[in-house]
């Protein structure tokens, strides 16, 4: 049972436009969500996170929106740049848990075309 789902395996966007990456979760115990970016043959790098007490968090070109009732979050990148091309993983955690476990989605490959 996949608790974190990224239903779009890939997304292609024109440079300068907005990229919207979506993520759904099923476990109601999740209360902390993160987005990671990953290039081929490299480890993921942290992008942005959001706690369930918020519905939006913004950091530069990156904004994460959380809809708790729908168990849905999205990452907006605006404006998109070719260097943003990578696989984006959504991850979720139960901050009340004692071992900091993250559950990852399968990732979405974002391609930003010049």
* 34 part of the interface to other proteins, by CB under 8 A: yes
User: What is the separation, in whole angstroms, between the first and last Cα of the chain?
Assistant: 38
Contact with other proteins (CB under 8 A) among 30, 107, 110, 112:
107
Rounded Cα distance between 72 and 23, Å, is 6
* 46 part of the interface to other proteins, by CB under 8 A: yes
Q: Which of 25, 101, 109, 97 is nearest to 66 (CA)?
A: 25
* 43 part of the interface to other proteins, by CB under 8 A: yes
Contact with other proteins (CB under 8 A) among 25, 30, 32, 88:
32
Neighbours of 32 (CB within 10 A): 18
- Our measurement of the distance from residue 85's CA atom to the centroid of its chain's CA atoms, rounded to an integer in Å, reads 14
Peptide bond into 79 cis (omega under 30): yes
Contact with other proteins (CB under 8 A) among 1, 41, 53, 69:
41
Single out the segment in contact with other proteins by CB under 8 A; choices: 12-20, 21-29, 62-70, 103-111. Answer: 103-111
Q: Summarize as ranges the residues that interact with other proteins (CB under 8 A).
A: 2, 4, 9, 32, 34, 36, 41-46, 49, 89, 93, 95, 99-107
């Amino acid at each position: 049972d996949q608790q974190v789902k990224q239903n779009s395996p890939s997304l292609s966007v024109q440079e300068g436009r907005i990229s919207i990456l979506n993520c759904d979760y099923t476990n109601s115990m999740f209360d902390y969500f993160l987005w990671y970016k990953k290039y081929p043959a490299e480890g993921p790098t942290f992008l942005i996170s959001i706690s369930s007490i918020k519905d939006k968090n913004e950091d530069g070109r990156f904004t994460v929106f959380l809809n708790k009732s729908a168990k849905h979050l999205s990452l907006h990148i605006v404006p998109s740049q070719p260097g943003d091309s990578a696989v984006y993983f959504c991850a979720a955690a139960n901050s009340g848990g004692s071992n900091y476990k993250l559950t990852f989605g399968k990732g979405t490959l974002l391609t930003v075309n010049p």
